[in-house]
C-alpha cells in the first residue's frame, strides 16, 4: 500500500483486485452513478467541486445530468469532497446548507 502514488494507483493495485475487477477503470465504471442518472425520475440536486480529491470532476457524468430534466447540477471551484466550506474572514461556513435551502425553496415554487 505504501508504494501507491495516488488513490487511482491504490485502486489499481489493491481494491480492484480485492473485488475481482479486471482494472481500476472497470471498478470505477461499476460503482459510478452514471448508469443510473438517465433513469432518475424525481428531483435530484447534485453538488460537486472542482477541487474534490476523491471524485474527480472529469469523471462526473455531466452530460447525463444535464440531459435529465429532474437533475439540477451545481459545480463549485472549491468545496472538497463533502464539506463545501466558504471562508468569511477568519471563519469558515458550510455553504451547502444555503444552497440546499435555496434549492428547496425553488422546488416548492415550481
- At residue 108, φ and ψ (nearest 5 deg) are -65, -35
- Is the pLDDT at 88 greater than 90? The verdict is no
Per-residue pLDDT reduced to its tens digit, 21-44: 999 999 988 888 888 999 999 999
What gap in Å lies between CA 29 and CA 35, rounded to an integer? 9
Q: What is the pTM of this model?
A: 0.72
Lowest mean pLDDT among 15-19, 72-76, 81-85: 81-85
Domain spans in the chain, listed from the N-terminal domain onward: 1-31, 37-109
pLDDT band at 81 (very low <50, low <70, confident <90, very high): confident
Amino acid at each position: 500500500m505504501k508504494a501507491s502514488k495516488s488513490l487511482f494507483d491504490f485502486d489499481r493495485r489493491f481494491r480492484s483486485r480485492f473485488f475481482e475487477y479486471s482494472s481500476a477503470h472497470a471498478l470505477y465504471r461499476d460503482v459510478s452513478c452514471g448508469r443510473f442518472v438517465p433513469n432518475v425520475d424525481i428531483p435530484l440536486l447534485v453538488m460537486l467541486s472542482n477541487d474534490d480529491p476523491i471524485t474527480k470532476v472529469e469523471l462526473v457524468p455531466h452530460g447525463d445530468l444535464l440531459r435529465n430534466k429532474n437533475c439540477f447540477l451545481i459545480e463549485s471551484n472549491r468545496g472538497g469532497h463533502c464539506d463545501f466550506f466558504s471562508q468569511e474572514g477568519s471563519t469558515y461556513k458550510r455553504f451547502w446548507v444555503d444552497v440546499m435551502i435555496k434549492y428547496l425553496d425553488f422546488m416548492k415554487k415550481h
